Amino acid sequence: MLDLYFWTTDNGYKARHGMEESGLAHNLKPVELPKREQFSPEFLKISPGHKIPALVDDDGPGGTVSLFESGAILKYLGEKAGNGLYPDDPAKRIMVDQWLFYGSATFTTHAQQLGLFTKRFPEDVPPVKTYYLEQFHDFCSIFDKRLGETEYLAGDDYTVADISAYPDIHMYHSDGVATGDYPNLTRWHDAIQARPAVERAWGPY
């Protein structure tokens, strides 16, 4: 059985979304960040950097697998599901890895700063907000250009690369930050939003 440790943040939704798309049986284990549950000794054994998401699979290669980092979790789930989310074809994998790393390492880390300075930071710091808003729009333009050339980020097929980029686009799209000027990105967002697995992933837990 798979245990997915998550909370209702962008990275948490990536893992839950990947889990729902995988079709694999699992238990959801909420880790309530506002209550600082990520610092419990039990959770730190799984995720020493006190971050969700994390995954424990008691039926992994060689025995029990314990994993943190949303990108690694998405790749693991895609490989385990064997349903094309993480393709077998090495040429396709190169493109999936590129956009998966871009989504998890580059895009989300910047998008989180926009959220921090526009929603949670105790002081109003306009130049920093402007900087991260411009950064966010730059990412939207890059995704929009790519999605004008291909159906999904890594090519013709929907993959874990799309799952990794989706939550931050979705959250800011809903807030009205990323709508309007990005027709290809909006087309991609709306197609992903309509998937039953996405409705489940963003639903009650």
Contact track, ligand GSH, 134-173, x by CB under 6 A: ----------------------------------------
Rounded Cα distance, 130 and 9, in Å: 23
* Residues from 25 through 54 that contact ligand GSH (CB under 6 A): 33, 38, 50-53
- Grouping H, G, I as helix, E, B as strand and the rest as coil, residue 28 is strand
Considering the complex, state which of residue 163 and residue 178 has its C-beta at the smaller distance from ligand GSH: 163
- If one counts every other C-beta atom within 10 angstroms of the C-beta of residue 172, the result is 22
Contacts of 183 (CB under 8 A, 6+ apart): 144
Q: Is 55 in the site for ligand GSH (CB under 6 A)?
A: no
Total site size for ligand GSH, rule CB under 6 A: 13
Minimal CA–CA distance to 86: which of 189, 162, 188? 162
Q: Is 70 in the site for ligand GSH (CB under 6 A)?
A: yes
Minimum separation from the CB atom of position 160 to ligand GSH (A) = 12
20 half-sphere exposure, CB direction, 13 A CA radius: 18
Q: Is 22 in the site for ligand GSH (CB under 6 A)?
A: no
* Residues from 75 through 114 that contact ligand GSH (CB under 6 A): 104
Question: In the β-sheet with 54-60, what is the strand arrangement from edge to edge?
Answer: 26-30, 2-6, 54-60, 63-68
Q: 66 pairs with which residues across the strands?
A: 56
- Among the residue ranges 65-73, 118-126, 127-135, 137-145, the one whose residues contact ligand GSH (CB under 6 A): 65-73
Residues making contact with ligand GSH (CB under 6 A): 9-11, 33, 38, 50-53, 69-71, 104
